[in-house]
Every structure is written in C-alpha cells, then in structure tokens.
Amino acid sequence: MTVVLPDSSEDSAARRVERELRKAIITLEIQPGASLSEKELADRYGVSRQPVREALINLGNAGLVGILPRRGTFVVKISLDLMRQARFVRESVEVAVVRRACASFDPEVRQRIDGILARQTDLAAERSHYAFQREDEAFHAALAEGAGFPAAWATLETIKAHMDRVCHLTLPLPETLPKVVDEHRRIVDAIDDRDADRAEVALKVHLDGILKALPRVREQFGFLFA
C-alpha cells in the first residue's frame, strides 16, 4: 500500500516518512526484528530513497532502528533498560509539570482537557486502542501547555518511544483503558485542588501502571523483547 505524502520537498518528505515509520513501529504494525528496505519504504510512501534514508538515520539515533553496514536495517527489539530509563526521565519531567500546574494553570487548556477526558471515556468503551493512545498524548501535552511549559512534553518525544511500544501492548488488556481514564481524572482533580503533593502521587501511580503490566506483557510477547 502506498501512503501519499503531499509535500514534495525532500526535507518535508523525510520528516513525514519518519513520522509514519515511528507510528508503524510504536503501534507494532512493523514489529521488532523486522528488516527494513529503503526501496520498499520509498515505494510505500511514494518518495525517493533519500528521505527514507534520512528518516531511518533519525530513527536509528532514537534507538528504534538498527543500521548495520552490509547487514541491513531492522527494527530494534524492545529494550527493558531503555524503557525504564525513559520512564525515569518522563517521571522527572512530568512531576515538575504537575507541581507547576498546581500553582498556575491556563483555564482555556483546563477546559480543553475536559474534552480530552470525555473522548477517552468514549474510546475506552469502544476499545479503540490507537485513537485512545493519541488522546493520551494530547492529555499529557495539555498538562505541560497548561502549566506554561509546552516544550517539556516535546522534549520527551524521542525517549518516550521506548515506553510507547510497551504501552501499546498493554492497551488491549481489558482493565487498562478505564483505569487510565480514572488515573487522568485523579491527576486533574489534584491540579484543580492546587494540591501539588497529591498531583505528584497521582502521576507516579499512573506511570507505575506500565511496570505493573510488564511481567504479563513479557510473558505473552517475549519474542518482541531484546
């Protein structure tokens, strides 16, 4: 299947290919260990090999793709060490965000969060996993924006990809989606109450979910892990 990338500039095409490939890797459409062909990817995205090559280099720098001379290019298997490091960095940044949010929060962003939570509730009922994950991203981005530090979430984009693949494996578990919505509401309730300590605890409980689900996920999908 060819994916149409409307902007023809090489730089823009490389960014778009990188974004589409990142999505395919994180959602496990392209599974860990899979080989990647520049020609096949160029055909798939309707571009020349150059933007594909640039996208693969960037994904290699992010630790999602391995490039071995004379041996080829492949999707790196999920690393528990990188996932735990990503979680540590993410917690450090987001704890600071929610504590700032308790001191001051943009009311327009706060109103937008209600819409995000409503959509998440609907998507949880529908078990629409990928759409739910996108709203999860929107929720955490809104926390940073509302606290006045939108770049805080943006800085996590590369490293959190190592968490995102594991998160995607946990979403089909029946208890996961409603639990995530409830955890998000607890974070927001603490921010509304200006209770920084409670907001920090709620955030840490939320991020701990991936660690609690990890043994079950590894038992079921061990072949995806390094």
**Per-residue pLDDT, 173:** 74
CATH topology of domain 10-75: Arc Repressor Mutant, subunit A (1.10.10)
What would the two tokens of residue 193 be?
């109450």
What would the two tokens of residue 78 be?
């999920």
**Per-residue pLDDT, 10:** 54
β-bridge mates for residue 36, sequence order: 73
Burial class of residue 95 in the structure, from the number of CB atoms within 10 Å of its CB (0-12 exposed, 13-18 middle, 19+ buried): middle
What's the CA gap between 177 and 90, in Å, rounded?
20
What's the CA gap between 188 and 143, in Å, rounded?
9
Q: Cα–Cα distances in Å, from 11 out to 36, 67, 130, 157, 189?
A: 20, 21, 27, 20, 42
Average pLDDT value over all residues in the chain: 91
What's the CA gap between 41 and 57, in Å, rounded?
14
Q: Where are the domains of the chain?
A: 10-75, 80-224
pLDDT digits (tens, 9 = 90+) for 58-113: 999 988 999 888 788 999 999 999 899 999 999 999 999 999 999 999 999 999 99
pLDDT digits (tens, 9 = 90+) for 126-175: 988 889 989 999 999 999 999 999 999 999 988 888 898 998 888 777 78
Question: Which CATH number is correct for 80-224, 3.50.50.60, 1.20.120.530, 1.10.3720.10, 1.10.10.10?
Answer: 1.20.120.530
Amino acid at 107: P
Q: What b/e sequence results for 30-48 when a residue is b if at least 16 CB atoms lie within 10 Å of its CB, and e otherwise?
A: bebeeebebeebbebbebe
Is a pLDDT exceeding 50 seen at residue 8?
no
Percent of the chain with pLDDT over 90: 69
Residue of 223, 172, 166 lying closest to 32 (CA atoms): 223
pLDDT band of 212, cuts 50, 70, 90: confident
